Structure 1
Amino acid sequence: MSFTLAQRAHKMNPSVIREILKVTERPGIISFAGGLPSPNTFPIEAMREASERVLSLDGRAALQYAASEGLPQLREWVAQDLKKQGMQVSPDQVLITTGSQQGLDLVAKVLIDAGSKILVETPTYLGALQAFMPMEPGVVSVDSDDEGVDAHDLRAKALDARFIYLLPNFQNPTGRTMSEARRVAVARVAQDSGLPVIEDNPYGDLWFDAAPAASLSSRLPEQSLYLGSFSKILAPGLRLGYVVAPKALYPKLLQAKQAADLHTPSFNQRVVAEVLKDGFIDRHVPTIRALYKRQCEAMLAALDREMAGLGVTWNRPAGGMFLWAQLPKGMDAVQLLPHAVDKNVAFVPGAAFYAANPVQETLRLSFVTSTVEQIQTGVAALAQTIREHLPR
């Protein structure tokens, strides 16, 4: 190749999940691998009607270039909606992004130098690592348990860190939720050490029985960046997300956004603003919660039934799209995957979600895109695969 790659390009790696999804396109595969919302939740009719209204009432503006900050009506809606998280923000702190993944990219460009120390949970979201790594940081994993990051280990590692990246609600990949007590402890460490917090919350509205505790950003308004998304509550194909930033930092994120894509598609923003304006989301999201709760319960029941005696353990999420399982000691989920695919079931090996010292026995299961019948069949096939490959 005649092109010379930048050093940062060597830090870019393909998404393990995206590669696995190619396998799941084979006919007959039951996939617990993708982090995809259920297409049964997409509000197609509401989108069609909103699109027609936008084109009829303001089509020329909808198809024109627009402000980099985002549509004012949409920024206002976000600011109002975040009051549910205990946050008090103004619309001029809201930057509309092309998916919350772009928010992670902007954070990386604005806050990370080569060699910068950044902190992440153990394990953490693979997409965040993909966004951060080209900037060549030193990534440090903070010990974590079922309640989130360990505050004592966080305090020990906070010195000189640029930020800590956290998903407090129904985390990807584990599905765990940070407890109220842990949020208090983490916020205290951040305040004491001056550690900025990047709070990523794409799943926070997908609770089953009770909403999670108030956001970390509500406790650290001048010391946090908050990322949100419309992908999980409307549709990921819209590529709409947002970043909420302190006013002092906002201009630099805006400049990075302008350099990246000028602005997020104005037509998409206007359609979503039209859908949201009459309280649609308050009627729509409960239907998603109910569906995902049924599917999660089906997977938990299937695991209880099929995995008995195999030495497999798993958590019981209170919302979101994922649960986290651990195989018996000595098994490798990466090596197990092709055998599972041979039995027409797929998952994501957990090792890809660790910034360091991956636990090979772990795996992520998504329960939202399969029917109850598929969940039952798929879990049975996975259990048989494990049974056939137990360490001797």
Structure 2
Amino acid sequence: MSSLALSRPAPALAERLAGVASSPVRELLALLDRPEVVSFAGGLPAPELFDLDGVRAAYDAVLWGSSARRALQYAPTEGDRELRARVAARMTARGLLTTVDDLLVTSGSQQALTLVATALLDPGAVVLVEDPTYLAALQCFQLAGARVVPVPTDEHGIDPAALADVLERERPALLYLVPTFANPTGRTMPAQRRAEVVELTARHGVWVVEDDPYGELRYRGAPVLPLAAQPGADDHVLHVGSFSKIAAPGLRLGWLRAPSRLLPALTVAKQAADLHTSTIDQAAAAAWFAGADVEAHVMTLCSAYRARRDALVEALPHALPQGSTWTDPDGGMFVWVRLPGTPDTADLLHRALAHDVAFVPGAAFYAGTPDRATLRLSFTTNTPERIAEGVRRLGAVLAEV
């Protein structure tokens, strides 16, 4: 190589990437191909529970039907109308009155968050989040140039009194919440607190994004109405949903329910991002909803995941050191653990991997000062027997330290 080539300046990356960390979950998934590892790390649905026959039949119906060529063509940005109608009907049945025209289909719920950030956040805008919260949402808001401010939580989710203080002090543009079976904690915000949050944010003129990928995975107790269904929510609460947890994440299909005055801006943001979500995948999803017994499929998921949650929660007292605490979620995919004292679970992970067991250290889920003694365990991808073995291995690691 010539000296001239060596002296040339290297092209620069965008500054917006500087403060955005890589996801430790994604990095762990790349390391866990070994079948002997019991992984509690990935927040993944169980692949053996995918409705493979139903999805195959749905694609066959689309590709061999009279509209096959249309399913391979460009499509409206807003999304397949039949698919939106089926989503609207399911949301209405869950207590959130929704029409076709309230919805925008997205390429997974993660894209919905990106569109929201594009439409609502200028660089330097303040976004409030629960502490801890979903780490890919933190990445999304940081990439948008927002200043992410944590709000304290308790066993019921975000603390309304703390939220009121932060709203006064920070004048945020947006509040992001996972109020039902939260990632990473598994906690669910009770109805009265949801009403308080909606009233507080309406009074301060703040957008609220309700991320709800797990709401249909309930194993115990009565459903709680979404934030977006609370009185006074219509003009400022957005609701984000996903097919990933009840159908299959490989479809990369989600949706965004938003106030009518906001949908045009979100649609423009979607056009700029990818024109529209995959036409054929949307058509197949609509065909799956039409041809499959979706309610029975969701019941099957809940039955299997309930047994797996129970296996994890029942095994933890025998493996964790005295003084540990953990959540016992009514649904979803996660149990959140705090170990006694001040250990760093990132260091503990290295020992755990040597014992063929994995988890996600808790620090990455914090926008504020992290509690490094925390960790997230996902129970959905292992059988109860495998969960028991994984917790036994984790207990052996903890006993060493």
Q: TM-score range with shorter-chain normalisation?
A: over 0.9
Residue 60 of structure 1: how far off its partner (Å)? 0.5
Tell me the amino acid that sits aligned with residue 342 of structure 1. A
- 1:190 lines up with 2:201 in the alignment: yes
SS of residue paired to 1:95: strand
Residue 87 of structure 1: how far off its partner (Å)? 1.7
The 5 Å alignment of 1:136-155 reads 136-155=145-164
Indicate the residue corresponding to 2:71 in structure 1: 62
CA contact (8 A) 1:317 1:323 kept: yes
Residue 371 of structure 1: how far off its partner (Å)? 1.3
CA contact (8 A) 1:93 1:246 kept: yes
Tell me the amino acid that sits aligned with residue 158 of structure 1. L
The CA deviation string for residues 349-389 of structure 1, in whole angstroms up to 9 with x for no partner, is 01000001000000000001011121111101111111111
Indicate the residue corresponding to 2:6 in structure 1: none
- 1:241 lines up with 2:254 in the alignment: yes
* TM-score, structure 2 normalization: 0.94
CA contact (8 A) 1:63 1:267 kept: yes
SS of residue paired to 1:164: strand
C-alpha distance in 1 between matches for 2:269 and 2:123: 17
The CA deviation string for residues 76-110 of structure 1, in whole angstroms up to 9 with x for no partner, is 11111111332222211200000000001111111
SS of residue paired to 2:282: helix
The 5 Å alignment of 1:149-228 reads 149-159=158-168, 160-219=171-230, 220-228=233-241
The CA deviation string for residues 163-199 of structure 1, in whole angstroms up to 9 with x for no partner, is 1000011000001111112112212212222222100
Residue 278 of structure 1: how far off its partner (Å)? 4.6
C-alpha distance in 1 between matches for 2:68 and 2:266: 29
Residue 279 of structure 1: how far off its partner (Å)? 6.2
Indicate the residue corresponding to 2:55 in structure 1: 47
CA contact (8 A) 1:118 1:164 kept: yes
Indicate the residue corresponding to 1:354 in structure 2: 366
Tell me the amino acid that sits aligned with residue 224 of structure 2. A
Once the two structures are aligned, what percentage of the paired residues are identical?
Answer: 44
Tell me the amino acid that sits aligned with residue 19 of structure 2. K
Indicate the residue corresponding to 2:387 in structure 1: 375
Indicate the residue corresponding to 2:21 in structure 1: 13
* TM-score, structure 1 normalization: 0.96
Residue 111 of structure 1: how far off its partner (Å)? 1.1
Tell me the amino acid that sits aligned with residue 305 of structure 1. H
Q: Which moved more, 1:50-59 or 1:185-194?
A: 185-194
C-alpha distance in 1 between matches for 2:135 and 2:63: 38
Tell me the amino acid that sits aligned with residue 335 of structure 1. D
- The counterpart of 1:38, out of the listed 14, 39, 46, is 46
Indicate the residue corresponding to 2:264 in structure 1: 251
- 1:105 lines up with 2:114 in the alignment: yes
The number of residue pairs the alignment matches comes to 388
The 5 Å alignment of 1:324-343 reads 324-343=336-355
Tell me the amino acid that sits aligned with residue 45 of structure 2. P
Indicate the residue corresponding to 1:2 in structure 2: 10
Which structure 2 segments of 5+ residues have no match? 1-8
- 1:83 lines up with 2:101 in the alignment: no
SS of residue paired to 1:177: coil
SS of residue paired to 1:227: strand
C-alpha distance in 2 between matches for 1:40 and 1:27: 15
C-alpha distance in 2 between matches for 1:94 and 1:48: 26
Structure 2 CA distance for partners of 1:278 and 1:210, relative to 1, 3 Å: farther
Q: Which moved more, 1:239-248 or 1:279-288?
A: 279-288
C-alpha distance in 1 between matches for 2:307 and 2:221: 15
- 1:25 lines up with 2:33 in the alignment: yes
CA contact (8 A) 2:58 2:291 kept: no
C-alpha distance in 1 between matches for 2:19 and 2:240: 24
C-alpha distance in 2 between matches for 1:383 and 1:34: 20
CA contact (8 A) 1:50 1:274 kept: yes
CA contact (8 A) 1:17 1:33 kept: yes
- 1:120 lines up with 2:129 in the alignment: yes
CA contact (8 A) 1:196 1:224 kept: yes
Residue 12 of structure 1: how far off its partner (Å)? 3.3
Tell me the amino acid that sits aligned with residue 23 of structure 1. L
The CA deviation string for residues 8-62 of structure 1, in whole angstroms up to 9 with x for no partner, is 1323331111011122223411100001111122100001111111111121111
C-alpha distance in 1 between matches for 2:70 and 2:399: 60
CA contact (8 A) 1:11 1:136 kept: no
SS of residue paired to 1:129: helix
C-alpha distance in 2 between matches for 1:353 and 1:40: 28
CA contact (8 A) 1:71 1:270 kept: yes
- The counterpart of 2:356, out of the listed 331, 336, 344, is 344
SS of residue paired to 2:382: coil
C-alpha distance in 2 between matches for 1:324 and 1:306: 15
Residue 4 of structure 1: how far off its partner (Å)? 2.1
